[in-house]
């Protein structure tokens, strides 16, 4: 078969030839890719020479490059441009990949060779990156059952296969639930309060589907304005209940059994490997190290945030009482918070949006990246893309040296999951003295342009774009030898530092002046409006912090406790986990866990706390930029050389101290959030 996935990508910059790749190519490509990788693994295992770092660790590191490229193309498509056929293929190939991974990690002869080199590590000359690769590979074998007996290895294989299947099914159910909901409004009176741009976008959505009136969905650009601005309370209630019921309805997409099965299997897996629970297993390879440290960290923040959150909640309740609504509910939160914000700061999202035309914000992140890290971005039209909406860029440095390919995919559509993320179609590495550069992508769900308006972003969407672009910089500026240590291949509670620190430029006048220009007049955002953005940046921060902490505590509740075999009811368990952080009355027909993709589909199980952990790092790090100047070249170079380019080649805290000169202080975050007296 002439399968483009199995041929060399003889394209410009060796990018994926999306136009040639058809759905039917994937399954056979995976089967052949696994075969090719197995041949290389067998050569390593059967090598009669004494095991060395080069003939075992380096050979292992580069043994599955073809399979890695196939996987990156397929699973990124499955997130950003999926369909029923792709999802069926995912269910077929995921167990194959899990089995192949286990074939490597449970291979006795291979482990013995890795262990031979590991045991000699003090007597052989290795640089820090080589030492890290050796330690990481050795641990990956041990942490995936290399020391188990044959019977337990088979049990582990079965657990891993089931976890891969369940995680995929969880995500597919959420996407199906999101796509299934539609709210059609034909009565103009019911649209009262909704901004004109959102009404126009809803009309366009309805027209695209051959329907009359305005069509609203659970995609963020539709859902967020609806829940924030629609005056009719019953409609807000209907929308929020639909959004929060994903995976919790009495239909084939119900995720309750899947949640219970996933946490049970994770617990069994951890116990099999000698850990107390899944959280202990995960956190062994995190900056936080143990569940005790994570819970102490979350509780320390909660101690500061809870009194502030209660005050915030009281403010919103008192304000909402002006409308005589009775008991305030979750569907009132965003609506009255936005109105209160406007009253206190004379600022709302609709005033800001004209200054944040998507194209201008893109230019802004490019300009700021250029000022900080000497990067140039040129839109190119001669490489393939997986959807017509995707934009493609060549990234170079100031000397026109090629740095990366950058894909940007901004608008929601049926085959794309909700939210925003950064990903990679090809990692960076150095082999045979050639520095092979990365192909990085960000995927978002922003409001589409309409006939009368370009895509105008809310300020929250602006910070989202900066956040994902911060991740992208981590990938683009990677400069390491080994792909598994490159770019964002770092501890999960360190990976959010580059993304979250980049958000800080959104609040700085000198940065905003570069791109925040009115889409009609071209006038730069007024100074008083920037000041209002800054003044309002901590608005209801207590409530926002408590909400994030509640998600972290729920995650730890599922993964850091005793055997989950005793948990019979997902909703009841969730309510107990939320007990100390709940402000609004509970909604019986809604559930967070059944749609908590971060921990049940993504890689954040026992790791959701890392968003707050990284906020401490980013607040502390940005203090240096503030002190020296937000475009200070020396500071930016130190951040680039010690954080962005280093990937996972050294322990995160060591890298951070090389940049900052000291360990981070939680007070930096508390001070920025206005939670420190």
Residues 6+ apart with CB under 8 A from 398: 374, 376
Determine the pLDDT at residue 676: 78
Return the structure tokens found at 668: 């930096």
pTM of the model: 0.89
pLDDT per residue as tens digits for the range 271-322: 999 999 999 999 999 999 999 999 999 999 999 999 999 999 999 999 999 8
Q: What's the distance, Cα to Cα, between the start and end of the chain in Å? A: 68
Q: Above 70 in pLDDT, residue 1?
A: no
Classified as helix, coil or strand, 62 is: coil
pLDDT per residue as tens digits for the range 466-524: 999 999 999 999 999 999 999 999 998 899 999 999 999 999 999 999 999 999 999 99
CA 530 to chain CA centroid, Å, is 28
Q: Pick the residue with more confidence: 221 or 256?
A: 256
Return the structure tokens found at 531: 């000041």
Edge to edge, the sheet with strand 391-397 lists: 375-379, 391-397, 402-409, 439-443, 421-426
359 close to 545: Cβ distance less than 8 angstroms: no
pLDDT per residue as tens digits for the range 606-654: 999 999 999 999 999 999 999 999 999 999 999 999 999 999 999 999 9
Determine the pLDDT at residue 418: 87
Return the structure tokens found at 611: 């968003």
When mean pLDDT is compared across 3-12, 321-330, 402-411, 506-515, the lowest value belongs to 321-330
How is 398-451 classified by DSSP, letter by letter?
Answer: TT--EEEEEEEE-S--TTS-SS-EEEEEE--EEETTEEEPPEEEEE--PPPP-S
How far is the C-alpha of 391 from the C-alpha of 387, rounded, in Å? 9
The topology (CATH level 3) of 354-535+611-672 is: 1.10.1370
State what percent of residues in the chain have pLDDT above 90: 93
R_g over Cα of the chain:
25
How is 318-376 classified by DSSP, letter by letter?
Answer: HHHHTTT-SS--HHHHHHHHHHHHHHHHS--HHHHGGG-BHHHHHHHHHHHHHHHH-EE
Domain boundaries defined on the chain: 4-105+107-143, 181-243, 256-347+541-608, 354-535+611-672
When mean pLDDT is compared across 96-100, 539-543, 668-672, the lowest value belongs to 668-672
Determine the pLDDT at residue 603: 86
Q: Above 70 in pLDDT, residue 545?
A: yes
Classified as helix, coil or strand, 303 is: helix
The count of residues in the chain is 677
Nearest-CA neighbor of 614 among 474, 409, 511, 516? Answer: 474
Return the structure tokens found at 637: 């170079």
State what percent of residues in the chain have pLDDT above 70: 100
| Average predicted confidence (pLDDT) for the chain | 95
Per annotation, catalytic residue among 61, 261, 338, 468: 468
Report strand pairing: 402-409 vs 439-443: parallel
Architecture field, domain 4-105+107-143: Up-down Bundle (1.20)
Q: For the structural domain made of 256-347+541-608, what CATH number should be given? A: 1.10.1370.10
Determine the pLDDT at residue 503: 97
For 527-620, strand residue ranges (E) read none
Judged on CB neighbours under 10 Å (0-12, 13-18, 19+), 522 is exposed
pLDDT per residue as tens digits for the range 140-183: 999 999 999 999 999 999 999 999 999 999 999 999 999 999 99
Return the structure tokens found at 291: 């569940």
Determine the pLDDT at residue 677: 67
Determine the pLDDT at residue 324: 78
The reply to whether 4-105+107-143 and 354-535+611-672 are identical in fold is no
Q: What is the pLDDT confidence band of residue 398, given thresholds at 50, 70 and 90?
A: very high
468 is known as an active-site residue: yes
541 close to 549: Cβ distance less than 8 angstroms: no
Classified as helix, coil or strand, 389 is: coil
pLDDT per residue as tens digits for the range 315-344: 999 999 988 788 999 999 999 999 999 999
Classified as helix, coil or strand, 409 is: strand
């Amino acid at each position: 078969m002439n399968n483009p996935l199995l041929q060399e990508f003889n394209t410009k910059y060796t990018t994926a030839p999306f136009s040639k790749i058809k759905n039917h190519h994937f399954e056979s490509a995976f089967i052949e890719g696994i075969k090719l990788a197995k041949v290389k693994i067998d050569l390593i295992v059967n090598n009669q020479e004494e095991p060395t770092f080069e003939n075992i660790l380096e050979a292992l590191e580069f043994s599955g490059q073809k399979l890695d490229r196939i996987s990156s193309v397929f699973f990124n498509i499955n997130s950003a441009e999926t369909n029923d056929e792709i999802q069926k293929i995912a269910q077929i190939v995921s167990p194959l990949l899990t089995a192949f991974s286990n074939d490597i990690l449970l291979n006795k002869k291979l482990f013995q060779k890795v262990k031979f080199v590991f045991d000699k590590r003090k007597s052989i000359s290795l640089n820090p990156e080589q030492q890290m690769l050796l330690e990481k590979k050795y641990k990956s074998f041990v942490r995936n059952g290399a020391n188990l007996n044959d019977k337990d290895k088979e049990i582990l294989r079965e657990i891993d296969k089931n976890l891969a299947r369940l995680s995929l099914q969880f995500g597919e159910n959420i996407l199906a639930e999101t796509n299934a909901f539609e709210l059609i409004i034909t009565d103009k009176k019911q649209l009262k309060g909704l901004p004109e741009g959102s009404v126009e976008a809803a009309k366009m959505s309805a027209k695209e589907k051959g329907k009359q009136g305005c069509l609203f969905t659970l995609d963020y650009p539709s859902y967020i304005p609806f829940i924030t601005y629609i005056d009719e309370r019953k409609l807000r209630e209907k929308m929020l209940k639909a959004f929060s019921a994903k995976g919790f309805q009495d239909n084939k997409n119900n995720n309750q059994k899947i949640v219970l099965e996933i946490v049970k299997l994770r617990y069994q897996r951890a116990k099999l490997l000698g850990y107390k629970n899944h959280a202990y297993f995960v956190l062994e390879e995190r900056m936080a190290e143990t569940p005790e440290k994570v819970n102490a960290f979350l509780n320390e923040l909660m101690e500061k945030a809870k009194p502030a959150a209660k005050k915030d909640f009281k403010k919103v309740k008192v304000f909402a009482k002006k409308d005589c609504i009775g008991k305030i509910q979750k569907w009132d939160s965003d609506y009255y918070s936005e109105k209160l914000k406007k009253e206190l700061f004379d600022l709302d999202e609709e005033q800001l949006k004209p200054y944040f035309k998507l194209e201008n914000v893109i230019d802004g992140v490019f300009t700021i990246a250029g000022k900080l890290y000497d990067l140039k971005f040129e839109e190119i039209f001669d490489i393939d893309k997986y959807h017509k909406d995707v934009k493609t860029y060549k990234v170079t440095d100031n000397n026109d040296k090629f740095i990366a390919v950058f894909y940007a995919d901004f608008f929601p559509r049926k085959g794309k999951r909700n939210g925003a993320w950064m990903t990679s179609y090809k990692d960076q590495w150095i082999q045979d003295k050639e520095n092979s550069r990365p192909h990085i992508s960000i995927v978002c769900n922003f409001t589409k342009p309409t006939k009368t308006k370009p895509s105008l972003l809310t300020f929250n969407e602006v910070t989202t774009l900066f956040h994902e672009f911060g991740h992208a910089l981590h990938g683009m500026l990677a400069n390491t030898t080994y792909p598994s240590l490159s770019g964002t291949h770092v501890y999960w509670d360190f990976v959010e530092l580059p993304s979250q620190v980049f958000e800080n430029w959104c609040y700085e006048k000198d940065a905003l002046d570069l791109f925040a220009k009115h889409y009609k007049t071209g006038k730069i955002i007024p100074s008083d409006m920037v000041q209002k953005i800054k003044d309002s940046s901590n608005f209801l921060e207590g409530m926002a912090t408590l909400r994030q902490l509640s998600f972290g505590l729920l995650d730890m509740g599922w993964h850091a406790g005793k055997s989950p075999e005793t948990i019979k009811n997902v909703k009841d368990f969730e309510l107990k986990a939320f007990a100390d952080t709940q402000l609004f009355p509970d909604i019986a027909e809604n559930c967070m866990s059944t749609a908590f993709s971060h921990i049940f589909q993504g890689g954040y199980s026992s790791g959701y706390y890392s968003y707050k952990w990284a906020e401490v790092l980013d607040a502390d790090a940005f203090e240096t930029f503030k002190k020296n100047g937000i475009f200070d070249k020396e500071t930016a170079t130190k951040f680039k050389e010690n954080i962005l380019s280093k990937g996972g080649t050294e322990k995160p805290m060591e890298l951070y101290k090389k940049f900052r000169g000291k360990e981070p202080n939680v007070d930096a975050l508390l001070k920025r959030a206005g939670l420190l007296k």
